[in-house]
Structure 1
Amino acid sequence: MRLVFIHGINNQDSTVGEIRDNWMSALLQGWKDLGLSPKKPYSAEAAYYADILAAASDGRNAAVEMGGGDVSSGLATEFLRVYSEAAGVTEEELRAAAVAEGLDPKVVEQGIPHEGWVIAFAKALERVLPTKGKYIAKLFLRQAAVYIGDPVLAAKIARTVTSQVFERKPDPTIVIGHSLGSVVAYRLLADDAFAGRSFPLFVTIGSPLGVDMFRPILPKKAALPKPPIARWINGRNKVDFVTLGKAITRKSIGFDGIDDITDVIDNEADRHDIVAYLSSPKIARAVFEAIENSN
């Protein structure tokens, strides 16, 4: 059995080895707490696209930053709108934060968020959210908005992840995606090119896939892609703002059948913490059982 880890946002300061070891350590701790130790063999590897995502969202290289009012940048601005409204941020508050970020007041007057300034307005929203008691993972809005708004970037990330952990690699495979990585992972696993693969367990944690506005960029499926996914569990902390507290349902993704797990370890300092998610008993046990039930 292979374990494949697909990271999310803000991992550009970590190496692929550090990500793999950190995630595996969290799982091992979860198993230890449960008194479990896999008897079946398994290996662990991580995909790595953090450098690509960071370069695209630094405010200089991102195609979506140039705006132009196309459909893609419209999705990025709608994404920011959804999170802004969920936090109860007013237009006035966001305008003030945008000016504080150094945007020209004349640009701000054109509307929030303005399609030509997606990254700058994401930074402005990140600035004001803590004043609303909403602590979101660092860089989530910026990096997620760029990913959503730039299909060329998303395709590059998909190719990178595929070549690293799927191409010419054996199955069965347990795939675990955190944060934006859950979106990257699902888009791959639901692609027709993966229909012949074997994924006994797909784990999403801290996932924004329950947020309706992601649906336009997802494969159109009327049922759980089975095969290749035999079982899908989604772990979410109800106060992890990245998830907006939402389960992944038919409304957001097009079908039912995803096991929703909200009984997770609560790291109050970081509700989006990968270590807390992976060491949570129900998630750790599900991964353990998938390994032990493998042929």
Structure 2
Amino acid sequence: MNETTEAAGHIVGVHGIGQGRTNEVRLKDDWGNALQRGLTRKYGPHTAVPSLTVPHYTGLYRPAPVGGGRHLGPGDADVRDADEPMDADEEDFVTRALAAYAPGPLPEAGRSPDTLGAPLPYLPDAVTRRLAAADARHGRGAGAKVLVLVRQAYRYLHDEELGRRIREVIRAEIERSGARVLIAHSLGSVIAYDMLRRGELRDPDTHTLITCGSPLGWLTVRRRLPGEAHLSVPEPLHWHNLHADGDPVTGGAGLAHVVTSGSLLDTRVSNGIAAPHDAVRYLSQAALADTVLARTAAS
């Protein structure tokens, strides 16, 4: 492509977990640069890159200080999710999610230093054993990585006020920018789909949803969302889902098999072996560039 490609429209990104140590400006730069690499690689250096913003919501996870305690600093929300004790409802949610992620027999009761390292006193034994099973099935450290996602997903789905405030941040940016294209990564795909089911993404105003590394394939997650435990894609929404081999969140599987209404395009991509769930690796994929170019030009 020798001439400059006009890519009209604006994109709003909905980020996932592990963003406590970044901010909106850094996310915009990281996501925008990755998107530019994908478009340039596929269409050449003269391809116009659509504008993009990524509203940052991680700070909403931080609790207010109690009894003179300190405010949590950047990144502490992610740490708090990892080491905070679970109540019975969260334990049930987490064990069900991990059982689906790594089905099969559990290791013997008691913590396994070969798979989990140091003892984890804040985790129930049932969860610890499920983490060991996840490591055995998906590789060392897989369980711990997925646990962070599962616990943040639980907090989003369980805490109605937190969920409302997060959706409000995303919706405000969509309305401010007039965006009709969303790119949602990891937990962000759960948030975007939740907004869709609640009628907070008003079709056809938002007409394209691109999801990457989505945990919506997990029945445990879908059961906590409005509606039945399947995915419904309303017309005229165009939904393109990317899933990567080796991604510990997707297990290398897409979402089309859990769609019972409407249609969804699944695309398998390769993000390498070092960080297959990483957002910027998904964003630099040629398949994503194709959809972005086509759908922003239609905006």
TM-score bracket for this pair, using the shorter chain length: 0.7 to 0.9
- 1:112 maps to a residue whose letter is A
Q: Which runs of 5+ in 2 are unaligned?
A: 1-8, 62-74
User: Which residue among 194, 205, 221 is the counterpart of 1:214?
Assistant: 221
Query: Is 238-247 or 158-167 further displaced after alignment?
Result: 158-167
User: Which residue among 114, 133, 152 is the counterpart of 2:139?
Assistant: 133
TM-score normalised according to structure 2 size: 0.76
1:223 Cα deviation after fit: 3.6
CA contact (8 A) 1:174 1:201 kept: yes
| Paired residues, number | 272
The change in CA–CA distance for 1:160 and 1:145 in structure 2 (over 3 A counts) is: closer
Rounded to whole Å, the distance in 1 between the matches of 2:286 and 2:240 is 13
Query: Is 200-209 or 141-150 further displaced after alignment?
Result: 141-150
2:72 corresponds in structure 1 to none
1:284 corresponds in structure 2 to 289
1:116 corresponds in structure 2 to none
Q: Which runs of 5+ in 1 are unaligned?
A: 114-120
The change in CA–CA distance for 1:140 and 1:179 in structure 2 (over 3 A counts) is: same
1:258 Cα deviation after fit: 0.7
Rounded to whole Å, the distance in 2 between the matches of 1:231 and 1:92 is 46
User: Which residue among 163, 167, 173 is the counterpart of 2:169?
Assistant: 163
The change in CA–CA distance for 1:66 and 1:173 in structure 2 (over 3 A counts) is: same
- Quote the RMSD (CA, aligned, Å): 3.5
The change in CA–CA distance for 1:255 and 1:101 in structure 2 (over 3 A counts) is: farther
User: Which residue among 181, 190, 200 is the counterpart of 1:183?
Assistant: 190
Rounded to whole Å, the distance in 2 between the matches of 1:7 and 1:154 is 19
Alpha-carbon deviations, 1:97-121, whole Å to 9, x = none?
Answer: 57932429xx96xx512xxxxxxx4
1:12 corresponds in structure 2 to 20
Please state if 1:145 is matched with 2:151. Answer: yes
Alignment of 1:40-79 (within 5 A): 42-53=50-61, 58-59=79-80, 65-67=85-87, 69-70=88-89, 73-79=91-97
CA contact (8 A) 2:134 2:143 kept: no
CA contact (8 A) 2:102 2:137 kept: no
Rounded to whole Å, the distance in 1 between the matches of 2:36 and 2:100 is 36
CA contact (8 A) 1:265 1:279 kept: no
Alignment of 1:184-263 (within 5 A): 184-196=191-203, 198-220=205-227, 223-226=232-235, 230-251=237-258, 253-262=259-268
Rounded to whole Å, the distance in 2 between the matches of 1:159 and 1:7 is 15
